[in-house]
Amino acid sequence: MIDLYTFTTPNGRKISIMLEEVELDYSVHKVDITKGEQFTPEYIAINPNSKIPAIIDRDKDITVFESGAILIYLAKKTGKLLPTEEKAYFQVIEWLMFQMANVGPMFGQYNHFNRYAPEKFPYAIERYRKETLRLYGVLDKQLAQGEYICGDYSIADIATFPWVAAYEFMELTLDEHPHLKQWVETMSKRPAVEKGMQVPA
């Protein structure tokens, strides 16, 4: 049994999608970051960085935080969605790191300055908007080569999808990135993705 500590953010939804895809039993523990629940001593004992998501694998008494690390852990635990052949393995890992180092931070900064910052800073909004669109272009070019980011469906797709799927919420469009737009449509039709995106309720 996996205990999943999560909230309704792209990083949280990565893990619920993964758990649905690999068909592991899990229980959901909602950590409401809008109420500061990530800063409670109980949660800090699980994730010292006070972020979601985190998991506890009760079968092995292993705790894992950071969404990318959790995806790798679950892939290795189940033998799914992470190839074992060396070249394919590192291609998936590099695109997972691309999401962790670029897509998440840049999209997050754009969304913050565009929607939530108490004071509007046009320079910051435009800087992160341009970088978000540049990253759309990188993904679009990669997806021109196949249905999924690394050819076969993998944790790279799971990591990236919740961030890109929020394009309308971010007041952006995918119309100039047709391969990326098609990928979002393909991903959205996967039953595990659809279910995982609704966690927590």
The per-residue pLDDT for 156 is 98
Do 14 and 71 contact (CB within 8 A), yes or no?
A: yes
In the chain, where does the domain assigned CATH 1.20.1050.10 lie? Answer: 86-194
Domain with CATH 3.40.30.10 in the chain: 2-80
CA dihedral sign, ordered 145, 148, 153, 158? positive
Query: Which residues of the chain are under the pLDDT cut of 70?
Result: none
Range 2-80 has CATH code 1.10.3720.10? no
Predicted confidence at residue 94, as pLDDT, reads 98
Instruction: Give the tens place of pLDDT for each residue, 184-200.
Output: 999 999 999 999 999 99
Q: Is 30 helix (H, G, I), strand (E, B) or coil?
A: strand
HSE (side-chain half, CA atoms, 13 Å) at 194:
6
Can you give the pLDDT at residue 108?
97
Q: pTM of this prediction?
A: 0.96
Q: What is the CATH number of domain 86-194?
A: 1.20.1050.10
